[in-house]
Amino acid sequence: MVRALLIFCGLLSVTVLYSQTVLIREHSLGLTIPEIALLDIEPDNTALNLSFSIPSEAGMPIVSSGGSTNSKWINYTNSLSPLVASRSIEVQINNGTVPDGVELLMDVSAYSGGGEGAFGISAGSVTLSTAPQTCIDNIGGSYTGNGSNNGHQITYTLGITDYDVLDADQSTSLEILFTLIDN
């Protein structure tokens, strides 16, 4: 009986090991993130018309007219290569000349809209000339959203710098150039 009990306890203490064969398979997967630098002016490419208003009373200054009809939106999509820290947008008068005694100002708003990422920083107000000037700086990987009310609103106004040289015959057309550049 003792022997039968020892055999029974021995059988209980034996652990049965099962092995399972595991097959591992691998495959390569390539990921490509392209460098992207896209810039657009919205809502469309139509011209804006700026003018001065005639004062309602003698002795009052001549002022720029227009309001919201002098506005567009800058949209961009941007991804950076490891060699580019950020991007900027420069603006300049590409064709035409601002009349004597007049200045063309462009106000650039801070980002607003439905995009994501590291949006650029507005330079605020820029007096336009034929020399390139930064209007938005430090743009990282981002997209602004498309169309009006996305990105940075730009609003143009006219100012008078010298009443003595104003000439009503100097009406003109200008072409404004925006360039997205690597920093």
**Domain map (residue ranges) of the chain:** 34-182
Q: What is the pTM of this model?
A: 0.81
Helix or strand holding residue 5 (H, E)? helix 2-13
- Are residues 155 and 126 in contact, defined by beta-carbon separation less than 8 angstroms? no
- Are residues 53 and 144 in contact, defined by beta-carbon separation less than 8 angstroms? no
Nearest to 41 by CA among 174, 161, 180, 147: 147
At 1 the pLDDT is 57
Span 90-143, pLDDT tens digits: 999 999 999 999 999 999 999 999 999 999 999 999 999 999 999 999 999 999
